[in-house]
Structure 1
């Protein structure tokens, strides 16, 4: 799909969702859906304004929490991780709590606060033990902390229900770390799915390796 075509589809979707809100202004899901599309368009200010105003229209906890969760996503998408986490932590409704904990973990991970990320991701995992997104994040966190064997366990669970180049590549990094072999099936599968991503990710590995070696030589 071309960028122009995608923009047209998003604009049509925005128009449809505005009509839905006009027809049913007491459905929080419509506001959340519109904000999600606005975030995809990087119209962050509009999405924030919409959700803040929408929260004033609802008094029930599930609707309030859905819109608050959406607001946290807006802040996360703009890189305001601390503000996003503070917003996600006010979500209480059980049906959104898992996703809120997962997003808090991702926020801490993005800030390289791996121990806090681990704590919230583990809480999210306890609620949905087979969830591929949560297991992948747990793998990412453990890999960042140098815990390759733990990362392997979580990545393998994620791979049962998910098969992306990023996940396969990171599982390949774990395999390379554990076996001390530069090539493995996970790298091969990642390259097959997305050659461009694989090439960039592999180059980052090479750059990191060079940096580590130069640091050791300097010592």
Structure 2
């Protein structure tokens, strides 16, 4: 079976589920999620907008709104995504929505807004690795290496990816002024391709550190 045929079968199965039970918002959400993975953003948007009009209960409306926000986010339409996410009232979905809002602002380099929403998301789920990693990213972008270190270390308690380790290594390099550290070594072991593609950042940081030494 070809990959395209598999994708078509998955979509067909989910459409059948909707036909069999059109009163379940989760069925529309599941289909939209698959369409987003297949980068069929227009179809996913149309589906969720139409489906949202079929429901009156707040949980279903919020679920479909969250799905629509994800469609816009994955399309790179961060402002539109945040408009959707900010209308969500369901307590469980709001936690995830706050993280998505923070990620949207981070993607637009609006780091102070990303920090505010990320902090709210973290208060709701203080041990979440993805939220702690984002807060590390935000603080690194703001130039606050000690605070970034705190969040990255919290994320590393429950997560171990090349990207996270690399960024923790950047913080370590910034704080110690040393070019090598265990975090870079671990990142390289996990994903050498990612590490090599990210090395330009190390050159740029090393240059900045050298310039700062000359200024002293």
TM bucket by the smaller chain? over 0.9
- Determine the structure 1 residue equivalent to 2:152: 155
Task: Select 2:117's aligned residue among 114, 117, 120.
Answer: 120
Structure 1 residue 74, shift from structure 2 partner = 0.7
- The yes-or-no answer on 1:179 pairing with 2:167 is no
Structure 1: tracts of 5 or more residues without a match: none
SS at 2:89 equivalent: coil
TM-score, normalising length: structure 2: 0.92
- CA–CA distance in 2 between the matches of 1:133 and 1:31? 26
Q: Per-residue displacement from partner, 1:160-192 (whole Å, max 9, x unpaired)?
A: 111111111111111111111111111111111
Structure 2: tracts of 5 or more residues without a match: none
SS at 1:91 equivalent: coil
Change (3 A) 1:174 1:9: farther
Structure 1 residue 102, shift from structure 2 partner = 0.5
SS at 1:206 equivalent: helix
Change (3 A) 1:191 1:105: same
- Determine the structure 1 residue equivalent to 2:52: 55
- CA–CA distance in 2 between the matches of 1:120 and 1:163? 24
Q: What is the aligned residue count?
A: 214
- The yes-or-no answer on 1:93 pairing with 2:93 is no
- The yes-or-no answer on 1:14 pairing with 2:43 is no
Q: Per-residue displacement from partner, 1:42-99 (whole Å, max 9, x unpaired)?
A: 1000000000011011111011001001101111111111111111101111010011
Structure 1 residue 18, shift from structure 2 partner = 1.1
- Contact map agreement 2:127 2:154 (CA 8 A) in 1: yes
- CA–CA distance in 1 between the matches of 2:5 and 2:172? 43
**Correspondences of 1:1-219 after superposition (within 5 Å):** 6-207=3-204, 209=206
- CA–CA distance in 2 between the matches of 1:204 and 1:189? 17
TM-score, normalising length: structure 1: 0.91
Change (3 A) 1:113 1:198: same
Structure 1 residue 5, shift from structure 2 partner = 5.6
